[in-house]
Amino acid sequence: MLRTTGPLAALTAILLDAESISPAIVALAEISEIDPDILLPLGELDLESKAEALVQMGLVSDVPHYESLAPDWAWDQIEFENEEQRGLWADSLQHPLPVWLRFARGREVAAKQVLVEEGIDLEQHDSLAQAWSVERNISRAIMGRKAAGGIEIQDLASQCVGLVCQPQRGQRWWDACAGGGGKTLHLADLMGNDGKVLATDSRSRSLRNLHKRLRRSNIEIVASEKMEVEATLPEVQPFDGVLLDAPCTGSGTWARNPDGRWRTDSVVVRKRVERQMNMLDNVSSLVKEGGVLVYSVCSVFEAECDGVVEAFLDQHPEFALSPFTDPLSGQTTEGTLLIKPWEHPTIGMYIARLERI
């Protein structure tokens, strides 16, 4: 079976996604006392072929089951509809995701022209007009161009969060865990730069990144403040909308961060759920009557998704699920959506929209 630690495990993990034999692979092979000449890049193969190749190269003793691609405990954290979905999730962990961009409204032509001039191939999403995918990262030099101010690097699933919020012109919104500000900027863009958006985060570095992105954008309605929302609240009147993109296990991002699956355990899940509940309980008090509370996590674990929302609703009868349209499928939801990484070329994301009644 596949070892989960040491140079051999690192070598095997890199080979699974590799398209060529790099110097790093050669170095790891030599450390592991394996002849680099017998190694093959497996990045373009399907799961079954990858498993067989690992045996042929002597990296594993028998053909591994696809469930070895994630920790044993993780499989019980996800509500799969059938065995096929289990295999599809495993397969999704082995395929690199495209880089997703969001073009600011009214700046699409200039933004697209920047990329075309740089010879970067891009493709517009079928359902989200502002979402474009590229196959490689965009350099700082390109992003530094004035016309590139209308380009934001933001995953497809993350863009769906802003669309579910449905912020309106003139409203006041609070992005309680803003991070680098991708969702903050999207809220402001959807509001037509008309209203107020407060972005808070406990990390100074994240807020500095937000400020950099604000300077290159045309957004003028965002204010920021360093804050730990588990214990503190802004000194303002209730908001029309609050977005809580809560800290989580990041299980929905494991295709982008393969090491994350081996640095997380079931204890971490319990700790994240406790923190998510505390945050949600605290920020909900600043949603005005008739206002919206949106909870999101880049996780596919049931405990962090429906588990948190159901527990919150049991304790807060003043809130109810608010149906919305799935931005990717166009179908009406009952108020929650799990964007499954085995169905879409993006990270996994859970979104719940609640209304204060």
Q: Which residue type, as a one-letter code, is found at position 47?
A: L
As a whole number of angstroms, the distance between CA 275 and CA 269 comes to: 10
Tell me what pLDDT residue 88 has: 95
Q: Where do we find the tokens 């034999």?
A: 21
Q: Where are the domains of the chain?
A: 6-64, 99-153, 156-356
Tell me what pLDDT residue 5 has: 52
Instruction: Kindly give the parts of the chain with pLDDT less than 50.
Output: 1-4
Over residues 318-328, the pLDDT tens digits come to: 999 999 999 99
CB atoms within 10 A of CB 74: 21
What does CATH list as the number for 99-153? 3.30.70.1170
Q: Which two tokens stand for residue 21?
A: 């034999």
Q: Exactly one of 160, 165, 298, 305 is catalytic; which is it?
A: 298
Tell me what pLDDT residue 242 has: 98
The 3-class secondary structure across the chain, one letter per residue, is CCCCCHHHHHHHHHHHHCCCCCHHHHHHHHHCCCCHHHCCCCCCCCHHHHHHHHHHCCCCCCCCCHHHHCCHHHHHHCCCCCHHHHHHHHHHCCCCCCEEEEECCCCHHHHHHHHHHCCCCEEECCCCCCEEEECCCCCHHHHCCHHHHHEEECCHHHHHHHHHHCCCCCCEEEECCCCCCHHHHHHHHHCCCCCEEEEEECCHHHHHHHHHHHHCCCCCCEEEEECCCCCCCCCCCCEEEEEEECCCCCHHHCCCCHHHHHCCCHHHHHHHHHHHHHHHHHHHHHEEEEEEEEEEECCCCHHHCHHHHHHHHHHCCCEEECCCECCCCCCECCCEEEECCCCCCCCCEEEEEEEEC
In contact, 184 and 199? CB cutoff 8 Å = yes
Of 94, 98, 99, 100, nearest to 18 (Cα)?
Answer: 94
Tell me what pLDDT residue 63 has: 67
Q: Which residue type, as a one-letter code, is found at position 224?
A: S
What does CATH list as the number for 156-356? 3.40.50.150
Over residues 51-109, the pLDDT tens digits come to: 888 888 988 777 678 888 889 999 999 999 999 999 999 999 988 899 999 999 999 99
Of 119, 183, 120, nearest to 153 (Cα)?
Answer: 183
In contact, 227 and 279? CB cutoff 8 Å = no
Asked if 298 is an active-site residue, the reply is: yes
Tell me how long the chain is. 357
CB atoms within 10 A of CB 51: 22
Tell me what pLDDT residue 149 has: 87
Tell me what pLDDT residue 14 has: 85
